Structure 1
């Protein structure tokens, strides 16, 4: 009596199925770990969307920032010597540094301290800054202990 030949087709599909399940599992683990281990990415995404939502006023301005957020970046105008009464005035000062119809602004980020009690001697300081990447702004701090309000200005040539 001869040996019966095993059909190798089912075992080939089983091996292929295990390989596919393994690849999908690795991709899911990588995605979850990327989000968990890089908190700046997830927090920037949520704050950035709020930052990009600006209020158009009747004069064509967009000056609404996010309270308790301090954006970082290279200072274009030092706040210790540059003070205003409101965050809107600070934002307008940043907008005034946009030079042309097209192209980026010289100032694309503003940071204002508007709470007299919390800010103390820093009250009214308006820091005008320039980001390396306006679509992924550098954030110094965010949350309850932060006394700053920050906003972003997009130039005409920069699209979200």
Structure 2
């Protein structure tokens, strides 16, 4: 079984590779949108973990209370009946928001986040679930601007 950190990392990489939600894309969400979206997914997980299901009560609560905090079009809200999946999405959105804030704070820094390893300092080895230090940034996660 994968750990939460592994699930979140995989989801964030999926968002970048499959959805195209790159760091440059995320930089356009500068009003707390990713944090708000993460909160909605975390609340859905909490609701499901309490023994509830995605029934009419949930739909009414979303419509009446929570959609005002959802930052994008309603069709982008994809709540899963799986509490762990919702937390995974929330975690990936939090990671994206943390990274966005850190990029903003480091604009004056002489380095930038490595595009090969996405700033993690590690890259996956294709032959298995192993990682090695990134050769592009020597495992630091940063390269010269």
Superposition TM-score tier, normalisation by shorter sequence: under 0.3
Q: Which has the higher helix share?
A: 2
TM-score using structure 1 length: 0.24
TM-score using structure 2 length: 0.26
Q: Which has the higher strand share?
A: 1
- Higher Rg of the two aligned structures: 1
